[in-house]
Amino acid sequence: MLIDKLWELQELQLDYRQKQRLLEESDLSSSLTTKIAETHDRLTTLQSQLEDFKAQEAKIGEKLDELSAKVHEAGAKLGKEEMSEDKVQKLEEKMKKLTLEKEKVEEAQSRNFHDRQDIEDQIRAAEMLAEKLRKELAAIPQSDDVSRAAVKKSLPALEKDIRSRKDKLPLKAKLIFENLSEKFSGAPVARVTSSTCEYCHVRLPQKTLVSLHNVGSDEGAEDLIRCEICGKILYAPTKDRE
């Protein structure tokens, strides 16, 4: 009967969708794996940059200590020793030079500090991204290469089968089936169990139940009975029809 054909068609259609989803998920999971590896490479680069900045910072610190000591030394000499005016002038010039050099090194220190903070921010961002990607990947069901290849191979035949079955349906039934398929994610038919629509869980009116048990066998779309609540085509398995 028409309704049995629609039910079978729906099973095939759902199988097809599920296989398609599996392939999409495995594509997504391999692209996520690539992204995670890229993020880790980036983290490695950033961390080595951070090490460079730390080393640079230590060097600048040493240089500053050295300069401060020299300035101090010169200042002490100026205060203590009796010296010619000429010597005093030279010493003052030296101090001026040292002070200027010190200022430059201090500027370099502050630049280095800001660059280092920037790298640290980037590291934090990359770590958060890697964590987010890892969570996304973990949420995807994993399939092995063999089953993925088998699924990919089976899809064209399945698609052909679905198409040829659809083409054999009466036009009106085909249109209803296709429209409802779009509306209900590929599942336009709802099974009836215990006088209830399995999709919307509403108990069907007596009139509908009677019609379900008395479907004609003339294969027309007029014979399709729809749930008054959700609109799906109702399917009573054969044993329930008798």
Residues that bind Zn ion in the complex, under the rule CB under 5 A:
197, 199-200, 227, 229-230
Rounded to a whole number of angstroms, the distance between the first and last alpha carbons of the chain is: 14
Distances (CA, A) of 54 to 2, 58, 235, 239: 76, 6, 72, 78
CB of 18 to Zn ion, least distance (A): 22
The residue among 126 and 227 lying less far from Zn ion, judged by its C-beta, is: 227
Using CB atoms within 10 A of its CB, is residue 177 exposed (0-12), middle (13-18) or buried (19+)?
buried
CB of 232 to Zn ion, least distance (A): 5
Nearest to 236, CA basis, from 180, 194, 206: 194
CB of 229 to Zn ion, least distance (A): 5
CB of 228 to Zn ion, least distance (A): 8
Secondary structure (3-state) at 190: strand
Strands 189-193 and 233-235, sheet pairing: parallel
Q: Cα(189)–Cα(1) distance, rounded to whole angstroms?
A: 14
The residue among 13 and 208 lying less far from Zn ion, judged by its C-beta, is: 208
**CA atoms in the 13 A half-sphere facing the CB of 82:** 0
The residue among 119 and 192 lying less far from Zn ion, judged by its C-beta, is: 192
The residue among 187 and 229 lying less far from Zn ion, judged by its C-beta, is: 229
CB of 185 to Zn ion, least distance (A): 15
Q: Cα(174)–Cα(221) distance, rounded to whole angstroms?
A: 9
Q: Cα(86)–Cα(50) distance, rounded to whole angstroms?
A: 48
The residue among 126 and 234 lying less far from Zn ion, judged by its C-beta, is: 234
The residue among 1 and 230 lying less far from Zn ion, judged by its C-beta, is: 230
CB of 199 to Zn ion, least distance (A): 5
